[in-house]
Structure formats: structure tokens, C-alpha cells
Amino acid sequence: MSIQIRGLTVTFNPGPDAVTPLENLDLDIPAGQFLCVLGPSGQGKSTLLRCVAGLLQPTAGTVEAHGRRVEGPSATRGMVFQQDAIPGWLRVADNIALGPRSRKIPESQWRPQALHFTEAVGLAGRERAWPRELSGGMRKRVAVAAVFANDPDILLMDEPFSSLDHLTRQGLHRTLLDLWAETGKTIVFVTHDTDEALALADRIVVIAGGGVRADVVVPFARPRTDALRMDAQANALRATLLGHL
Ligand SMILES: Nc1ncnc2c1ncn2[C@@H]1O[C@H](COP(=O)(O)OP(=O)(O)OP(=O)(O)O)[C@@H](O)[C@H]1O
């Protein structure tokens, strides 16, 4: 599902203490793209994602998903947050089934998908575990399986892996890229880490000063390995991006 953002402006606290992280921002995201949104702290990345999610109404401008105006949250747009947002009182399997169950989808429809994504994220055999019995990386795997099991068209991910160590994060990158390749969903992934964006994205936009400061295509084939850190073209792209941060 494609996303069109036109003239997006968000002002918090109108008046003398007004903050306007986004001002007249335009962005088109084609269906199936893996877009990373990069930017310095406090420049409106999360605000942008919340507008696309329908969790925040813009002060001006519009967000459209597949040609329809976003006016509130919808199951067609799934979110994964930085915090461990999975409910601690639900076992792994119930966490992964939470979305379709709460939408009253018949179990015969969601059960095979839930099992598939449980396996795909590497949690087969842990279905009856409680979140507190899992590592931080495994809890993230539950969150990723849960969002895919709810079958949104668009995945909005706000620094989902930033609390994880390098190796755990790399593992989750591989899992996410495999699931993205398999399902063809549109992903908007916010990060402040240039290397994470280069590892994941088809395209990277830098958000700063209210708008899109840079918009680059990432030309590297997948799977991308640590060798990318040594690659001259990747270094040039990294330098360009860092120059905008
Ligand atoms: N609900 C709110 N009320 C008032 N100001 C807000 C609110 N949400 C965000 N802001 C302000 O808007 C600006 C942009 O915040 P936002 O969280 O979108 O930035 P960000 O780029 O995601 O930052 P970070 O990388 O640190 O997460 C900041 O100055 C923040 O303080």
C-alpha cells in the first residue's frame, strides 16, 4: 500500500511555547518499499510516524494510504515501538494472536499465519512462555511476529531495535528483511543509526528542520553483510547522510 504525504505540518502547544517539528513536508512512499527515516533527535521522526499511523492529527496537510485519507488508527497500519510494548500478561502465542483475535477474525483464518510467523521469527517451541521469561531480543521477535500476524499493509517501526546489542539487532534485521521479502509489505522504519538504515533500506530520507533534507536510494544488493562497512560506495553514501545529520 502506497503512502502520500502532502504539506504535512504539526505544531505542538500553539502559542508562545509552540514547537513545529514538521512544516509543509511532502513525501511519497511506493507500495512495497522499505523506507528508513533518519534524522537528529527531536526533529519529528516519531511525529511523522504517528501521523501516518493515524495516532496524531496534523495541524495542516494530509496523509493518504492507498489513496484514502488517514483519519485514525487502522489495522492496515501496524506499529512496532522502541519500548517492549508486548503485554506481559499474555503468553507468546496469545501475544502473537492478539491483533486478529481482538478484530474477531475467525481462528481458522489467523491460526496458520500465526504459527508461520512464530516459526519465522524463531519462537517455535516457546509458544507457552511468558514475556518475562524471554530475552529482550526474543521479546522483539514476539512483537515482530505479532505485527505480521495481524497482516497490515504498512508497517511503521519506531526505532524498534535500538535497545538491543549489535548481534541481536543483526539477527532481527535478517528476520525482518526475510519477512518483508516474503510478504511485500510497505515498511517505514525510523532510526537515528545510519548503519542500520544502510543495512535495511531501499531508500533513506533524512528529516530535519521540518522537512525532507535528503532522499537517497540505497543501491546495494541484499543480503548486505558487514563487508558493507568497508565498501567505498557505502562509505560515500554514509558520509553524505552524516553530512545532513
Ligand atoms: N505530544 C507532544 N507535545 C509537545 N511537544 C511534542 C509532543 N510530541 C513531540 N513533541 C516535540 O516535537 C519535537 C519532535 O519530536 P519527535 O519525537 O517527533 O522527534 P524525533 O525525531 O522522533 O526524536 P528522537 O530521535 O529523539 O526520538 C520535539 O521537540 C518534541 O519535544
Q: What pTM, to 2 d.p., does this model score? A: 0.96
Output the CA 155–ligand 1 centroid distance in Å: 20
**Cβ-contact 195, 169 below 8 angstroms:** no
Angle of CA points 239, 203, 80, to nearest 5°: 110
Q: How far is the CA of 60 from the centre of ligand 1 (A)?
A: 17
SS3 161: coil
Burial class (CB in 10 A: 0-12, 13-18, 19+), 209: middle
Q: How far apart are CA 24 and CA 98, in angstroms?
A: 37
Distance, in Å, from the CA atom of 5 to the CA atom of 67, rounded to the nearest integer, reads 11
Tens of pLDDT along the chain (245 residues)?
Answer: 899 999 999 999 988 999 999 999 999 999 999 999 999 899 999 999 999 999 999 999 999 999 999 999 999 999 998 886 799 999 999 999 999 999 999 999 999 999 999 999 999 999 999 999 999 999 999 999 999 999 999 999 999 999 999 999 999 999 999 999 999 999 999 999 999 999 999 999 999 999 999 999 999 999 887 778 888 999 999 999 999 98
Task: Please list every protein residue whose CB sits less than 6 Å from any atom of ligand 1.
Answer: 12-13, 19, 21, 39, 41-47, 192
ipTM over 0.90: yes
Residue 126 alpha carbon to ligand 1 centre in Å? 36
* Protein residue whose Cα sits closest to atom 16 of ligand 1: 44
